[in-house]
Structure 1
Amino acid sequence: MACINDHWQSQVRQVAQGIRRRVMEHTVRNHGGYLSQACSAAEILATLYLRIMHLGKTEKALVPAPFAGVPGPDNSAAFTGALFNGPRGPEYDRFILSPSQYALVLYALLIETGRMDPAGLEQFNVDGFTVEMIGAEHSPGMEVMTGSLGQGLSQAAGIAMARRLKGESGKVWVFMSDGEWQSGQNWEALQAITHHKLDNIGIYVDVNGQQCDGAMCDVMAIEPFADRLTAFGARVYQVDGHNLDALVRPVLEPGCAGKPVIVLADTKPWQGIDILKKRYPKLHYVRFASGDEQAEYAGILQTML
């Protein structure tokens, strides 16, 4: 676990608030954005980066480089966004962002933790740059293309297996959304993880009950979620996703050999920005219906500065 001083909770809260503020600012300025994801995931991601994961440090806040082409044997210039997570090493953890529509939230996190220069957000969704709206392997903080949805866990499992075979001590941490578990590929991946007893992988799930078509329970129910995951062989914890002690507690408890840890973090998709409640159950992406509505959000942003 990363070494943090006694004031780690205040640091995490500050970063989480910064994430919400930056994503809100982006949303107001660009007439839309993935705002509810910032509300629900801010504490989870901030806790992962500041308290749970053992990542190498970056020498300075990095400015994202322009797109250098897709990886391949004939493109030595290609790179991944993993460099924002510090140097590689057998002792360092690896981070996989599975739901790539959370990319804006990850960029805000990287800025708030001093890993990415704030100027990087000026490249957001601009042709020729890597700060993509839907993150890819070259986007800041990412190292694999996790697809439209539901492919990150499979790739994380492969990385965890390779790390075990190499005898590396670093773990693999995966951030997921609850909606991804409507996809069968994740259940196949979990089945492989538990079959191969990959206990060097940890999974945090943002259980905000939302997806692009509305409330998850109205689209495709996945309950009893925790029971299903347990039946597949995982060690499962269900916690308040905005409670910092609760988020950390599962990784402090004694491990269970051969079982991956899955933390189901129950969250509110309007946490910290209550005006989003008006949009329920369609909270996946904020688009302003009028200039007046945009101005209302801009007024709330002023209270967050």
Structure 2
Amino acid sequence: MALTNQKTTEEFALGIRRRVFFHTMKNNGGYLSQACSAAESLAILYNELLQLGEPTLPKVPLPFGGVPSAHNTDAFTGAGYNGPVGPSFDRFFISPAHYALVVYSALIEAGRMDEHALDHFNKDGSSVEMIGAEHSPGMEVTTGSLAQGLSMASGVAWARQRKGEPGKVWVYMSDGEFQEGQTWECLAAMAHHRIDNIRVIVDVNSQQCDGAMSSVLDLGDLASRVAAFGVTCRSVDGHSLDALRTAAESAEPGKPLVILAQTSPFQGMTYLKKRFPRLHYVRFKSAEERLEMQAALADELGIDTRAMEGA
């Protein structure tokens, strides 16, 4: 739930892409394709679906203060940007920690984090880490290695269900996590225990760090495979807000809901298509390539190139 209602979800998604684009240009690299594929999903979560309270952490991110211990009682998790933990509030787990830059951009768009919070990105001593950890904004747990987030979230959801708490547990995943056995084991456990207060959105962008999913480990008919585990599975256009809204409201009693958001890793930035499938992390091989990409993407994103001066 947004802190203000001044942005449409379409504007919110465009804002995410623009922020990640600016950051990538300024820092000669970034997780740009994840912003292309995930912008609508994260926008609709933060602007419409998530039932959250006011943030409990300051808008300007705190430095990393160390891990929780008996001698470090001031340790915090980044979940504070999603508001307080309470029975009626939702909990939100980000499983692919390398989506951190996109998550931070969503938090800024939602008014939950400072406009200039990305200035702290990947700096020594900062909690705004390149690969999100439990203390990073928006993160409740450290989910690496990949594919551990769903298991953690399902445990929380099961506990909340047994306590009778009305709040839901939402999970954001990438399709690469279905190349890991732990994900399938968790689906079976969630179905067995009838954990129906969990909502999972999967960014099915068909790529991973080693290239196209089809060439690394093809998942075949993912929707049929997921549904076979006894969960409710909806496969939708991940760039259609209406399709995402409908899917989010389609949960069935006694079943977890898994939404496969079919997306493109160059949605809104078609220039990136020439780089597919090497899109996991975008950096520039030359100054000329950077300028070419900057001009092409700024045009697609509706950005005045004069705003890029000094980026």
Q: What TM-score results when the alignment is normalised by the length of structure 2?
A: 0.93
Kindly state the Cα deviation for residue 223 of structure 1 after the two structures are TM-superposed. 1.6
Report what 1:68 is aligned to: 65
2:266 maps to a residue whose letter is: W
Given that 2:54 and 2:82 are in contact with CA atoms closer than 8 Å, whether structure 1 keeps it comes out as: yes
Matched, 1:23 2:20: yes
Cα distance between partner residues in 1 of 2:35 and 2:16: 7
Report what 2:309 is aligned to: none
Matched, 1:109 2:102: no
Given that 2:95 and 2:172 are in contact with CA atoms closer than 8 Å, whether structure 1 keeps it comes out as: yes
Report what 1:286 is aligned to: 282
Deviations 1:7-49 (A, max 9, x none): 89x6111111011111011111111000000000000110111
2:78 maps to a residue whose letter is: G
Deviations 1:112-131 (A, max 9, x none): 11000022111111111100
SS at match of 1:298: helix
Given that 1:60 and 1:115 are in contact with CA atoms closer than 8 Å, whether structure 2 keeps it comes out as: no
Matched, 1:32 2:29: yes
Cα distance between partner residues in 2 of 1:89 and 1:297: 45
Report what 1:263 is aligned to: 259
SS at match of 2:8: helix
Deviations 1:119-159 (A, max 9, x none): 21111111111000000000000110001311100100111
Kindly state the Cα deviation for residue 75 of structure 1 after the two structures are TM-superposed. 1.5
Matched positions, count: 301
Given that 2:100 and 2:130 are in contact with CA atoms closer than 8 Å, whether structure 1 keeps it comes out as: yes
1:286 maps to a residue whose letter is: V
188, 191, 194: which is aligned to 1:194? 191
Given that 1:25 and 1:301 are in contact with CA atoms closer than 8 Å, whether structure 2 keeps it comes out as: no
Cα distance between partner residues in 1 of 2:150 and 2:39: 20
Given that 2:235 and 2:259 are in contact with CA atoms closer than 8 Å, whether structure 1 keeps it comes out as: yes
Kindly state the Cα deviation for residue 61 of structure 1 after the two structures are TM-superposed. 6.9
SS at match of 2:116: helix
2:145 maps to a residue whose letter is: S
Q: Which consecutive aligned stretches of 4+ in structure 1 deviate over 3 angstroms post-superposition?
A: 2-5, 58-61, 300-304
Report what 2:165 is aligned to: 168
2:123 maps to a residue whose letter is: V
SS at match of 1:174: strand
Coordinate RMSD, CA, aligned: 1.8
Report what 1:223 is aligned to: 220
Cα distance between partner residues in 2 of 1:301 and 1:211: 22
Q: How does 1:227-242 map to 2 (within 5 A)?
A: 227-242=224-239
Given that 2:89 and 2:167 are in contact with CA atoms closer than 8 Å, whether structure 1 keeps it comes out as: yes
Cα distance between partner residues in 2 of 1:46 and 1:133: 20
Cα distance between partner residues in 1 of 2:141 and 2:42: 18
Kindly state the Cα deviation for residue 186 of structure 1 after the two structures are TM-superposed. 0.7
Q: How does 1:135-154 map to 2 (within 5 A)?
A: 135-154=132-151
Cα distance between partner residues in 2 of 1:203 and 1:182: 16
Cα distance between partner residues in 2 of 1:147 and 1:213: 17
2:243 maps to a residue whose letter is: A
SS at match of 1:118: coil
Given that 1:137 and 1:143 are in contact with CA atoms closer than 8 Å, whether structure 2 keeps it comes out as: yes
Given that 1:175 and 1:204 are in contact with CA atoms closer than 8 Å, whether structure 2 keeps it comes out as: yes
Cα distance between partner residues in 2 of 1:180 and 1:132: 21
Kindly state the Cα deviation for residue 302 of structure 1 after the two structures are TM-superposed. 4.0
Q: Percent identity?
A: 56
Q: How does 1:97-136 map to 2 (within 5 A)?
A: 97-136=94-133
SS at match of 1:141: coil
Kindly state the Cα deviation for residue 60 of structure 1 after the two structures are TM-superposed. 9.2
**Unpaired segments of 5 or more residues in structure 2?**
304-311
Deviations 1:185-238 (A, max 9, x none): 111111111111100000000000000111001000112211111111110101
Matched, 1:179 2:211: no
Q: Which piece of structure 1 moves more, 74-83 or 292-301?
A: 292-301
Kindly state the Cα deviation for residue 282 of structure 1 after the two structures are TM-superposed. 0.9
SS at match of 1:173: strand
Report what 1:277 is aligned to: 273
Q: What TM-score results when the alignment is normalised by the length of structure 1?
A: 0.94
2:272 maps to a residue whose letter is: L
Cα distance between partner residues in 1 of 2:275 and 2:85: 42
The 3 A distance-change label for structure 1 pair 83 and 267 is same
